[in-house]
Copies of this chain bind each other. A is one copy, B any other.
Amino acid sequence: MKIGILGAGQLGRMLALAGLPMGHSFHFLDPGEGESVAGLGGFTRASFDDPDAMARFVASVDRVTFEFENVPAAAVARIASERPVAPGALALERSQDRLIEKQLFTELGIPTAPFRSIETPLDLKQAAAEIGLPAVIKTRRHGYDGKGQWVATQTGDLETAWRALGAQPLILEGFVRFRRELSIIGARDAWGGTVFYPLVENHHGDGILRLSLAPAAVEAELQAFAEGYAHRLLDTLQYEGVLALELFQVGDELFANEMAPRVHNSGHWTIEGAETSQFENHLRAVLGLPLGATASRCQSAMVNLIGSLPVDTDLLACPGAHLHLYAKQPRPGRKVGHVTITAESDPELRRRLGNLMRYLPANLLPHLPAPLVRQVAPGEILPVPGAREC
């Protein structure tokens, strides 16, 4: 099968790397340079709004999917008249607008922080009065990695936020004092069959995912709740493919933050850490094939490489370390790769992760949890990992 992918970043890259071993080929369409997918298939540089380029792209492939949720839903609906496209326009529409997304969660009985639709500065004041401060004010569209967000701690911030966010329709959400951030990744196949990966614990810095630990150490009950929420979304959206749902844990409860109708950064660990990777399962769903097992094979930690690359190749000798590079030029704030560390037990994982810190670019360390980074205090000598160690 020739699979067309809208978007050509690292997610498209890893989809192709999962599909090529199974004998599939790929064609990407993206307005950017497509450096991450160079050599992995055909590439059309075009806007998602360019009807001619889109028509040629669609005619050249058997199936279409996307790796980027801000593809115009109308464009995806047009594609659907020519070729099977998964997940469908419905899932895209619902997840592109934070207000519609939150309303969907509420309709399906999935708990969220309290939220209000904001059309005017007056709405903002009213909402803040009702829900209380601090609160998070977000654009309804096109935010990612912490962009398009503003945390208001006092009434005076509201006017500033309104202007800073461009005086457009917004959503105000109550500030969740969460114990930790989790995510669940699920997949649904063409016949409605679903699979779910174990919950993942995520650590952000500057609004960008820095570290995922999988499986998260949670009660079975929490896993069941998370799967139930994801299941409702997958079924309601008649979804085909992988969907990620970000959650806040407060006490023993889960609150949905947002969903992504695509493979997700918090699922990169599945390449080495699960029986079947999220990328392979997404392709299986898109191609009408049975889904693969989602059980974890070990304990995994995924560290994003952001803004710079590791310089020391000894990183490769760290036991259990698996380096993934995205063929992107490093720029501040840009995800240019990730490292997954695998281990048989959680203590061993944490030890290996501590060792890994020695080989990571210094700019990453301030954004990682302190207990990890403390392990590379100057002068401290850690056991040097050897390739035969694990």
Choose the segment among A171-179, A311-319, A374-382 that binds chain B (4+ C-beta atoms closer than 8 Å).
A311-319
Q: Do A319 and B342 touch across chains, with their CB atoms under 8 A apart?
A: no
- The closest CB in chain B to the CB of A295 belongs to B390
In the complex, chain B residues whose CB is within 8 Å of the CB of A314: 290
Q: Do A21 and B324 touch across chains, with their CB atoms under 8 A apart?
A: yes
CB neighbors of B among A281-307 (8 A) = 284, 289-295, 297-298
In the complex, chain B residues whose CB is within 8 Å of the CB of A331: none
In the complex, chain B residues whose CB is within 8 Å of the CB of A325: 21-23
6 A-B contacts, Cβ less than 8 Å apart? A23-B327, A26-B39, A275-B342, A284-B316, A289-B316, A293-B387
Residue A195 is within 8 A (CB to CB) of chain B in the complex: yes
Q: Do A313 and B293 touch across chains, with their CB atoms under 8 A apart?
A: no
Q: Do B193 and A387 touch across chains, with their CB atoms under 8 A apart?
A: yes
Q: Do B389 and A293 touch across chains, with their CB atoms under 8 A apart?
A: yes
Q: Do B316 and A293 touch across chains, with their CB atoms under 8 A apart?
A: no
Task: In the A-B complex, list the 3 residue pairs whose CB atoms are closest, starting with the nearest.
Answer: A23-B325, A290-B317, A293-B390
Residue A17 is within 8 A (CB to CB) of chain B in the complex: yes
Residue positions of A touching B, CB distance < 8 A: 14, 17, 20-23, 25-26, 38-41, 193, 195, 275, 284, 289-295, 297-298, 313-314, 316-317, 319-321, 323-327, 337, 342, 387-390
Shortest C-beta distance, A2 to chain B (Å), equals 10
- The closest CB in chain B to the CB of A284 belongs to B316
Q: Do A388 and B22 touch across chains, with their CB atoms under 8 A apart?
A: no
Given contacts A20-B40, A21-B325, A297-B298, whether A387 and B317 have CB atoms under 8 Å apart is no
Q: Do B292 and A316 touch across chains, with their CB atoms under 8 A apart?
A: yes
Q: Do A387 and B40 touch across chains, with their CB atoms under 8 A apart?
A: no
In the complex, chain B residues whose CB is within 8 Å of the CB of A298: 297
Shortest C-beta distance, A317 to chain B (Å), equals 4
Q: Do B20 and A390 touch across chains, with their CB atoms under 8 A apart?
A: no
Shortest C-beta distance, A190 to chain B (Å), equals 11
Q: Within the assembled complex, what's the spacing in Å between the Cα atoms of A195 and B317?
A: 12
Most B C-beta atoms less than 10 A away, residue of A293, A325, A387: A387
- The closest CB in chain B to the CB of A315 belongs to B290
Q: Do A319 and B293 touch across chains, with their CB atoms under 8 A apart?
A: yes
Q: Within the assembled complex, what's the spacing in Å between the Cα atoms of A96 and B22?
A: 32
- Besides the contacts A20-B39, A40-B40, what 7 more A-B pairs have beta carbons closer than 8 Å? A21-B323, A23-B326, A290-B313, A290-B317, A292-B387, A293-B319, A294-B388
Q: Do A317 and B342 touch across chains, with their CB atoms under 8 A apart?
A: no
Q: Do A21 and B17 touch across chains, with their CB atoms under 8 A apart?
A: yes
In the complex, chain B residues whose CB is within 8 Å of the CB of A41: 39
Most B C-beta atoms less than 10 A away, residue of A14, A38, A321: A321
Shortest C-beta distance, A220 to chain B (Å), equals 15
- The closest CB in chain B to the CB of A281 belongs to B387
Most B C-beta atoms less than 10 A away, residue of A327, A342, A389: A327
Q: Within the assembled complex, what's the spacing in Å between the Cα atoms of A20 and B41?
A: 12
In the complex, chain B residues whose CB is within 8 Å of the CB of A319: 275, 293
In the complex, chain B residues whose CB is within 8 Å of the CB of A324: 21-22
Shortest C-beta distance, A233 to chain B (Å), equals 19
Q: Do A293 and B17 touch across chains, with their CB atoms under 8 A apart?
A: no
